[in-house]
Amino acid sequence: MSLERLNEKQRRAAMQVEGPLLILAGAGSGKTSTMTERIAYMIEQGIPSYHILAVTFTNKAAGEMRSRVEELVGRCDDMWIMTFHAMCLRMLRYNCEVIGYDHNFVIYDGTDQKTIVKNILKEQGINDKEFSAPYLLSIISDYKEKAVSADEYRDAVEDNYKTKVIYSVFKAYEDELKKNNAMDFDDLLLNTVRLFEQDEAILLRYQRKFQYIMVDEYQDTNHIQYKLIKMLAEGHHNLCVVGDDDQCIYQWRGADIRNILDFEKDFPEAKVIKLEQNYRSVGNILAAAHSVIENNRGRKGKKLWTDREDGDKIKYYRADTEKDEARYVAQEIDLLKGRDKKYSDFAILYRTNAQSRHFEEALTQRDIPYRVLSGLRYYDRKEIKDMMAYMRLVVNPYDDLSLRRVINEPKRGMGDKSVEKIQGFANVRGESLLQALSDEEVLDTLPGKAYSGVKNMVECINLCRDERDNLRVSDIYDNLLVKTGYMKALEDANTVEAEGRIENLMEFKSVIYDYEEQADKPNIEEFMEKITLMAEVDNHDANQDAVVLMTMHSAKGLEFPVVFLPGLEDGLFPGHKAFDSSDKMEEERRLCYVGMTRAKETLILCSASVRTLYGRTEYTRESQFLRELDKRLLDGDAVYVRKTRDSGLGVSTGSFDGFAAKESPKPYDSLRYAKAATKANASAGDEEFAVGDKVRHAKFGEGLIIDQDGKTLTVIFDAAGQKKMAKGIAPLKKL
């Protein structure tokens, strides 16, 4: 077999079989072809396939690699091409008795893990609102990835109430898994390392077996994966790792970029081959991406090049608002579609899922088909559907379907049996579930744990319904979100997924504010009608010719002829947390690089001068990454050019020309502000008032309190006249 299909650098990498090798494979440089050809070359050189181990991160990547190798050299069933977890599982099945497990051990998934931790919390009498199962599991996972046991955790951390609780749960969780002859996914890796540490003979056996090791996406390995590979490779040092330090974008879930940056320290005899020829993108896209990523200090020096033409310059559009940004993107797709393009040639890649809404609406208005990848359409997301269910109950107390959806969201101890029991009461009484639960006699039948949570939920819904004429839609939303415990449950979870859900919930406030601004007489009934109609637009067939919407994290490994990167503003991309440390900023910059290098022919960048995100309107500063990009490669709005527009919107945190005022040292943090504002608005009614107090109402303006009793305030307003309103929910502020 010849290696003629490979370029000179790829051939060198394929033929470099002995000793440690680092292949720095830039975006679109033919990494997969190089790896498969390398394996085939080794087999053709007489290396038995059972001496080869190839490790990937996904089953899909492993399957593709095996298929391509077998196309070249025929069947090789005895060669291990698999994911880290599959490799460890196979090793443990044969040897797990060494670490005290039976061969028939089971693997617990995320649901099983949560159940175990919840049971532990109950047994130990720990408040699950203070220490939620997802929060504790995320800590346990973090320490397992560092190969730290519960006892080692206890010895390493400061002794206080919080660490004692974590240790107690961590230890009980370890014990429960061992008692059940079970492992979680972290255990598969960790226990394989422990197996090798406890029985050197087993490690030597695998070292003799795997004389040639290859690891794909090495920049995404965590500490325990690094340790595992290093142990296996110490036998023969024939370790080939393939990756791109410029595409390390998963540090938030444990990836350690030092693994690839320090490879030559770990293996001083290592050879380094850089695959820099790009087969995907035109020259200007590569040059633009390089002008951004070269600002990272923590990287290996490389520069992608192509023998393709330079292509068009990078387009840049500075929109007035996020709606204008979405309108522009949809318009450009319409224009470019007429030039021999399919809808599936276009991708809109954003930093956060919350950004998708405006693009979905703009595309729908132009009848452009789209699909949201690695996520749901905005109005199909669980948290949005949950809050819409709460709001529907304010409008319609007979909506049993909505109540069933949220009665245990967040967890209130309401199992199926409890719900069915209440349903029975409601049927006998001829009432809806909400009406039945509004009766103290029915509430008293609930389990102790469920009683207070369900009671608070029911009271909140009923109060919002009774007071809906005195409340803005946004007031109702804030109260439902906070007083039902929904937002707190997500905050307590303290996971990346939960943070994403909070972002979407805060962005929903923008939907509400848009409605309140545009409607003649805004009210919750009309709002829910509009949202329902908007949410029920056609679901798009995943196989159809459609524009793709997805996050930049999800886009890694993909490519499209035309790519849009919207939201290039400080505080959004890079996100506000990036300004806290250089490491976080460098990871954001790598994400920008990944996004830019998805484009084959056309790259279009966008930002908005004014953006309403999470319900807050802000003037924005153009992204640091835009400022770093070589301006000679840009076509369109130049960065830092003042635009003389009269916006009439919002409150400025900086100047309107696209860069922050001197007194604004940091980019905004809209999410944190939005959460605080939501909680503050929901608790506004909890303030103590007295007769004679002058107040301002969010809807009716200024007024005077003229009477009060245990539950209500009577206020005479300058413009709206006399109103009775409920304490605890009326959005009043003392003047």
Q: Reply yes or no on whether 158 is catalytic.
A: no
Helix (H) or strand (E) holding 721: strand 721-726
Numbered residues of the known binding site for ATP = 25-32
Q: Which among 483, 598, 723, 727 is annotated as catalytic?
A: 598
Q: Reply yes or no on whether 31 is catalytic.
A: yes
Contact (Cβ atoms closer than 8 angstroms) between residue 670 and residue 616: yes
Q: Which among 37, 145, 186, 216 is annotated as catalytic?
A: 216
Distances from the Cα of 449 to the Cα of 403, 443, 560, 658, angstroms: 18, 12, 52, 52
Distances from the Cα of 522 to the Cα of 395, 472, 585, 698, 720, angstroms: 14, 8, 42, 13, 16
Q: What is residue 654's three-state secondary structure?
A: coil
Q: Which among 9, 10, 11, 31 is annotated as catalytic?
A: 31
Q: Which among 12, 16, 32, 423 is annotated as catalytic?
A: 32
With a CB cutoff of 8 Å and minimum separation 6, the contacts of 411 are 128, 489
CA distance 280 to 244: 16
Q: Reply yes or no on whether 216 is catalytic.
A: yes
Q: What is residue 306's three-state secondary structure?
A: coil
CA distance 516 to 366: 24
Q: What is residue 410's three-state secondary structure?
A: coil
Peptide bond just before 410 cis, omega within 30 deg:
yes
Angle subtended at Cα 57 by Cα 52 and Cα 63, rounded to the nearest 5 degrees: 65
Contact (Cβ atoms closer than 8 angstroms) between residue 318 and residue 643: yes
Q: Reply yes or no on whether 8 is catalytic.
A: no
Q: Residues 690-696: contacts with CB within 8 Å, 24+ apart?
A: 693/734, 693/735, 694/734, 694/735, 695/732, 695/733, 695/734, 695/735, 696/732, 696/733, 696/735
Q: Reply yes or no on whether 247 is catalytic.
A: yes
Q: Which residue has the tokens 């605890």?
A: 728
Numbered residues of the known binding site = 25-32
Q: Reply yes or no on whether 251 is catalytic.
A: no
Q: Which residue has the tokens 């226990």?
A: 191
Cβ neighbourhood burial of 307 (10 Å; 0-12, 13-18, 19+): exposed
Q: Which among 184, 217, 332, 507 is annotated as catalytic?
A: 217
Catalytic residues: 31-32, 216-217, 247, 598
